Structure 1
């Protein structure tokens, strides 16, 4: 146990210049001028160098002890942490923000089709806590703080993703030899959002009728655009972002076709989607509502993106269930179990089965890869079969919408 405590450190910071030992080589230094700071004195290769860990109060006593502990782990491995820091300075990658920029440009954008996903999570969840911190000063406490903020906001799935990306980010630092330590390595999924149960929610036809009636009755909070989007999700089975970010130039309404390019699909496989008669009518209405926008669902407010946010409809549904913490209201869904937008895609698959649609055709409607040998040798696109499938599902439920 160290000699200092938080109260002593706060008092020393206001006292006369001095260097006070906490133990195990960690010192709190109050200079004649400037901010107090922490140093670590250590022995390596016959010398006794000192290493600055950070300024106080930005680096608390607990953080300083954690940082010193991590540096001592490197020293035990024969690694000079001062040399490590100098290497980072030469590379131009000293802070977590600079580390992420390098990871994004030289790895994520090259390797991933949707590199914007980890970038969004870094920007929103990780950067506010540790973006400006030097790589060698990031501690497990910082990692825990990032995770805690996300979990406390009720987004357990995002907490798991955030932990995953922090581990990968610091592995990138390991790969570049910027540090030998990964502050996120010891954390497990149970430290974040926990093991996620696979969702199996499917809406029954009675529920579909109730849900869309509630949508209509609440057309101020649940707009006509939201309503038509949900109709399209049910009869097309596409993913949320594939529809809400769709530009008009992907659609050939005269021939009833939507050409979804590989750049916008989750698996990188392009898909020609045959549009049922009802979907064409809804899209014609959306064309009028979109005015001169290039997008089927243009953004309704000032935004960096010209299209509707992927969480817009999710938030609107959450409100009707009385689950929107920012706009509390009673549950208007009359006994219907909670669902999310993606459950409409799963519902489409169930409706297709109810119509007797062949499993391979239904899977291709969802743009799923066929498994095993079948996926290798069967490259048939099933376009006409899928056209029939989408039309059958639309005919089955159109009276419910």
Structure 2
């Protein structure tokens, strides 16, 4: 058969089923459409597969190319794959680099996580610089190991564990998308990264609180007034750092002395009205002036940043500097002024534990102290006791604020 003969058959306009050889057929349908078909046997059943339309256009198959196309289909059959079923399978997404698949993973984080900026930050700072531009299939376990060991060597074991977990999730997604056959991070465990994390127990006494805020005040060139107020509010109200730094003025009523913490701003996803002690109102009024008309209590200090309130790392880094910790790859560490003042190292989150401990030391009943921290009451009691203890919490927080403020002023 040659092209002239095939075109002659097409011109006649009649149905044709002409064998070319080795199961390859040239067909013309009832409607006059010419195309190539391969007949084959799979699992002892006779089948046929439409290879494509005959012609010279880009999406058509010529007589010269038809045997090669048929050979490709026969190879699939030889490999145990039914071409008809293979055609029905979803097409694989094309991911060239790790960043390609990571961006899809980050979009899923945006959809499913309450705080997607956390994995996004770790990926951008710790993972992308090392493997982001590598081909997905080229990444090996040693590449992942190098990432977590480097972070761990910098004294950040928790971030090392987080980075490992995110790498596992990214490459799990790559496996699901058929971009790779196995996850290169699968064999690496937290013992290779930051190790098993121990629950922190650090809490400050009233005497330590007095010393800490005296040192912070004396080093206002390094520790800003806004940061100073933020730490005081975290200590006296027992709220989470994320809840405070993302708070908006519309939720704060200085006349009623309340702060409405909405479900989307809390870890427990439960709305709660926080009573603001009289001793703290002046701090809120000062923040109002310092926020310069912003919607947020702690507006972002750099206009180039994507979000409108301060970074999650702002308070952490500011406090770490006064402990002589190196913050950032280019910055030199400051003197350990807090350590020299006799203060054992602590982090911002330890202030929440400190609040709870100081409430107990003031004789506040456990269930009231727990509600001050917006903790859910556990067990059967939690199911039936829906009272928010506002007045009791107000009295407890007022008592704590009086004790703290008389020591830091």
TM-score after normalising by structure 2: 0.73
Matched residue, 1:398: 405
Aligned-partner Cα distance in 2 for 1:122–1:134 = 16
Q: Deviations over 1:6-51 (max 9, x none)?
A: xxxxxxxxxxxxxxxxxxxxxxxxxxxxxxxxxxxxxxxxxxxxxx
- Following superposition, the deviation at residue 101 of structure 1 comes to 2.3
Matched residue, 1:194: 195
Matched residue, 1:344: 351
Matched residue, 1:98: 100
- Following superposition, the deviation at residue 79 of structure 1 comes to 11
Matched residue, 2:393: 386
Matched residue, 1:28: none
Verify: 1:238 aligned to 2:245, yes or no: no
Matched residue, 2:173: 172
- Following superposition, the deviation at residue 257 of structure 1 comes to 1.2
Matched residue, 1:327: 332
**Contact 1:314/1:341 (<8 A) preserved:** yes
- Following superposition, the deviation at residue 102 of structure 1 comes to 2.2
Check 1:114–1:287 CA distance in 2 against 1; reply closer, same or farther (3 A cut). Answer: same
- Following superposition, the deviation at residue 143 of structure 1 comes to 0.8
Aligned-partner Cα distance in 1 for 2:132–2:199 = 33
Q: Secondary structure at the match of 1:259?
A: strand
**Contact 1:261/1:269 (<8 A) preserved:** yes
Matched residue, 1:278: 279
Matched residue, 1:34: none
- Following superposition, the deviation at residue 345 of structure 1 comes to 0.9
Check 1:267–1:177 CA distance in 2 against 1; reply closer, same or farther (3 A cut). Answer: farther
Aligned-partner Cα distance in 2 for 1:182–1:288 = 52
Residue 372 of structure 2, aligned match among 365, 371, 388: 365
Aligned-partner Cα distance in 2 for 1:217–1:285 = 19
Aligned-partner Cα distance in 1 for 2:149–2:184 = 15
> Aligned Cα RMSD in Å?
2.3
**Contact 1:88/1:178 (<8 A) preserved:** no
Check 1:171–1:375 CA distance in 2 against 1; reply closer, same or farther (3 A cut). Answer: farther
Q: Secondary structure at the match of 1:189?
A: coil
- Following superposition, the deviation at residue 350 of structure 1 comes to 0.6
Q: Highest CA radius of gyration, 1 or 2?
A: 2
- 1:48-63 equivalences in 2 (<5 Å): none
Matched residue, 2:219: 218
How many residues in Structure 1 have an aligned counterpart in Structure 2?
Answer: 318
Structure 1 window deviating more from structure 2 (366-375 vs 173-182): it is 173-182
- Following superposition, the deviation at residue 336 of structure 1 comes to 1.0
- Following superposition, the deviation at residue 89 of structure 1 comes to 7.5
Aligned-partner Cα distance in 2 for 1:393–1:216 = 20
Check 1:374–1:79 CA distance in 2 against 1; reply closer, same or farther (3 A cut). Answer: farther
Q: Secondary structure at the match of 2:344?
A: coil
- Following superposition, the deviation at residue 88 of structure 1 comes to 10
Check 1:256–1:214 CA distance in 2 against 1; reply closer, same or farther (3 A cut). Answer: same
Matched residue, 2:46: none
Listed as ranges, the gaps of 5+ residues in structure 1 are: 1-77
- Following superposition, the deviation at residue 377 of structure 1 comes to 2.3
Q: Secondary structure at the match of 2:295?
A: coil
Structure 1 window deviating more from structure 2 (295-304 vs 202-211): it is 295-304
**Contact 1:130/1:138 (<8 A) preserved:** yes
Aligned-partner Cα distance in 2 for 1:295–1:247 = 4
Listed as ranges, the gaps of 5+ residues in structure 2 are: 1-78
Check 1:169–1:375 CA distance in 2 against 1; reply closer, same or farther (3 A cut). Answer: farther
**Contact 1:88/1:94 (<8 A) preserved:** no
- Following superposition, the deviation at residue 201 of structure 1 comes to 0.7
TM-score after normalising by structure 1: 0.74
- Following superposition, the deviation at residue 376 of structure 1 comes to 2.3
Aligned-partner Cα distance in 2 for 1:337–1:207 = 9
- Following superposition, the deviation at residue 352 of structure 1 comes to 1.0
**Contact 2:92/2:178 (<8 A) preserved:** no
Q: Deviations over 1:312-340 (max 9, x none)?
A: 22222222222235233332221111111
